[in-house]
Amino acid sequence: MSKYVTYEQSGVNIEAGDESAGQIYSSVASTFGPRVMELRGGFAGLFRLDYDERLFKRNYKRPVLVACTDGVGSKVQLAGKMKKFDTVGIDLVAMSVNDMLVLGAEPLFFLDYLAVNKLEPKVVAELVKGVAAGCRSADCALIGGETAEMPDTYRAGDFDMAGFAVGVVERRKIIDGRNVRKGDVILGLGSNGLHSNGYTLVRKICFEKSGLKMTDAPDGLDGTVLGNVLLEPTRIYVRPIVKLLSQYKVKKIVHGMAHITGGGLPGNIPRVLPKDCDAVIKKSSWPRHKIFEFLQEAGPVEEEEMFRVFNVGIGFVLVVAEDFAASIKKKLTRYGEKVYRIGRITTGTGKVVLK
């Protein structure tokens, strides 16, 4: 037995890290577009900002870079329980790109950070596969990342993820809510379910209070496996919204947008409301996923708390000029979104009124 202490003996496997890097490369490369300058094994990623008429359809005259960072929260614990690692990476991308989309920005590139107790190349490959899938859906490039093996920080089987996105928007086309006015129509885009918020309460209701397992199929979910419902990835709204905005080169018909995350409709819509406006939301104007009904009944959870914690079926909101509301709804429906006319802007004090 050698008298020397090695890094592997302390819990970190350098060879496993090298193996992981090799396994994930094809997933990463699948997100590359013509602006990515490939530098395999580099210390950083390279992304071109210059314009080439042969490669790019549009140029920015006064570009503003938009940056976001976010995580997936305790949803990663459920992925670990079910040994299903290929969807939370999509969540990771969605949480950042949907946030920057609110400003009218299109994502350019993404970086991820993964921290684990023990580096298992197959698991890492599945996680990055999900990140790459999310990047492809958002039309952005995955140009870098980091995996940290920290056995003294994370318990066996635990891991966490963080993501960082950079996008761009033409300065005069930034959407910040300042054009929101009385009479505007509020359109809601359907969510895929819980997305990535409220999972601490979800775990308390499902596992502590109800004694369920991830593999159970409760009656309230019509026989669907609970784990599959809880791990349904966050919907990415980039393509339909970017396509919609590109059709209005002069008119500013989208006055405000909100990504419905933690805080729900009451907590996120006010972030783009003027101080003299309220958003009046009709709660019966869209259908709710079974998971929300299940959680509310199993908790039980009060209606107000449901709207404060969860998206309750609306993952993204647009505040639009009344004259264009019908045509925007029609276009977004054609692009594959479930679109609901959920409310209107009235005179008020900058809050959401649920009716």
> Among 143, 170, 197, where does a domain finish?
170
Across 311-326, average pLDDT:
97
| 196/334 same-domain check | yes
Across 326-344, average pLDDT:
97
Q: What is the pLDDT of residues 144-153, one digit of tens each?
A: 899 999 998 9
Task: Report pLDDT for 6.
Answer: 45
Q: Which long-range contacts (CB under 8 A, 24 or more apart) does 79-86 make?
A: 79/231, 80/157, 80/158, 80/159, 81/214, 81/227, 82/214, 82/215, 82/227, 82/231, 84/227, 84/231, 85/123, 85/126, 85/127, 85/130, 86/126, 86/127, 86/129, 86/130, 86/133
**Predicted TM-score (pTM) of this structure:** 0.90
Distance between CA atoms of 94 and 135, rounded to whole angstroms? 9
| 290/204 same-domain check | yes
Task: Report pLDDT for 30.
Answer: 77
Asked whether residue 140 is assigned to any structural domain, the reply reads yes
- Number of other residues whose CB lies within 10 A of the CB of residue 97: 29
Asked whether residue 2 is assigned to any structural domain, the reply reads no
Asked whether residue 71 is assigned to any structural domain, the reply reads yes
CATH number of domain containing 279:
3.90.650.10
* pLDDT at position 37 over 50: yes
- Domain interval for residue 31: 8-170
| 37/164 same-domain check | yes
Task: Report pLDDT for 17.
Answer: 53
- Number of other residues whose CB lies within 10 A of the CB of residue 164: 17
Q: What is the pLDDT of residues 235-265, one digit of tens each?
A: 999 999 999 999 988 789 999 999 999 999 9
Task: Report pLDDT for 249.
Answer: 80
Query: How does strand 141-149 pair with strand 106-116?
Result: parallel
| One-letter amino acid of 151 | P
Looking at the 3D structure of the chain, how many domains does it have? 2
| 137/257 same-domain check | no
Asked whether residue 3 is assigned to any structural domain, the reply reads no
Of 239, 104, 243, 237, nearest in space to 173 by CA:
104
Of 56 and 348, the structure prediction assigns the larger pLDDT to 348
Asked whether residue 347 is assigned to any structural domain, the reply reads yes
CATH number of domain containing 77:
3.30.1330.10
Task: Report pLDDT for 83.
Answer: 94
Residues 350 and 274 sit within 8 Å (Cβ to Cβ): yes
Distance between CA atoms of 229 and 253, rounded to whole angstroms? 35
The HSE-up count of residue 240 (CA atoms within 13 Å, CB side) is: 21
| 145/250 same-domain check | no
Burial class (CB in 10 A: 0-12, 13-18, 19+), 126: buried
Asked whether residue 176 is assigned to any structural domain, the reply reads no
Q: What is the pLDDT of residues 179-220, one digit of tens each?
A: 999 999 999 999 999 999 999 999 999 999 999 999 999 988
| 97/207 same-domain check | no
| 90/202 same-domain check | no
State what percent of residues in the chain have pLDDT above 90.
76
Task: Report pLDDT for 251.
Answer: 84
Asked whether residue 212 is assigned to any structural domain, the reply reads yes
Query: How does strand 159-170 pair with strand 141-149?
Result: unpaired
| 304/327 same-domain check | yes
Of 264 and 10, the structure prediction assigns the larger pLDDT to 264
Distance between CA atoms of 58 and 243, rounded to whole angstroms? 13
> Among 145, 170, 195, where does a domain finish?
170
Confidence of residue 54 (pLDDT cuts 50, 70, 90): low
